[in-house]
Structure 1
Amino acid sequence: MARNKIINLNDHLFAQLERLGDESLKGDALYEEIKRSAAVTNVSEQIIKGGDLMLRARIAADNTIRGDQILPAILGGDFGPDSDTRQ
């Protein structure tokens, strides 16, 4: 089962680091692991940026009078211009 939570990102990054540290990897296998590591890094950066955006939106909402009512639905708000009113 996939562990698709931001809290598990460190586990994936450390696992990748361990694979890169495998001294038995040579030649093409090492090259492929380096390419995989670059891909994992790129995806990780996007996950972190998304998490940062959600955190900043939550902080901004908490610092307003209306709270969640100003958040677009994509960021977890139930009200506002982008809310989905379907049940």
Structure 2
Amino acid sequence: MSNSLADLNAHLFAQLDRLDDETLTSDQINDEVKRAGALIGIADSISKNAEIGLKAAKLYAEHGNTVLPHLPQIAKQSKVEGSS
């Protein structure tokens, strides 16, 4: 499994395809529903994390370096990027 939002989107649609498979037995459907629930839970966490990153980037874009002390993850990333 890759680690991008595009890959997550592909996994969600693949799960939707599996749920739409009309050849599944009742037990297989139940297994896919459980799997879908787990996937959705993880996807929600990843989406919330991405949303936080976007909000931090927006604050940085609006306020520049003055906001960095309040955004330690961006400050750490900026230092790494600056040293490349």
Question: Aligned-residue CA RMSD in angstroms?
Answer: 2.3
Q: Which has more helix, going by share of residues? A: 2
Match for residue 58 of structure 1? 57
Provide closer, same or farther for how the CA distance between residues 69 and 28 of structure 1 changes in structure 2, counting only shifts above 3 A: same
Deviation at 1:69, TM superposition (A): 3.2
Match for residue 2 of structure 2? 3
The answer on whether the counterparts of 1:13 and 1:40 sit within 8 Å (CA) in structure 2 is yes
Identity %: 32
Name structure 2 gaps, 5 residues minimum.
80-84
Of 71, 74, 77, the match for 2:75: 77
The answer on whether the counterparts of 1:68 and 1:78 sit within 8 Å (CA) in structure 2 is no
Name structure 1 gaps, 5 residues minimum.
none
What SS class does the counterpart of residue 63 from structure 2 fall into? Answer: coil
Deviation at 1:67, TM superposition (A): 5.7
Match for residue 36 of structure 2? 37
Higher RCO, 1 or 2 (CA under 8 Å, sep at least 6)?
2
- State the TM-score, normalizing by the size of structure 1: 0.77
Q: What is the identity, as a one-letter code, of the residue corresponding to 1:51?
A: A
- State the TM-score, normalizing by the size of structure 2: 0.80
Deviation at 1:78, TM superposition (A): 3.1
Distance 2:64 2:29 in 1: 54
Are residue 46 (structure 1) and residue 45 (structure 2) matched?
Answer: yes
Deviation at 1:9, TM superposition (A): 1.3
Distance 1:37 1:78 in 2: 35
Deviation at 1:14, TM superposition (A): 0.4
Distance 1:39 1:21 in 2: 17
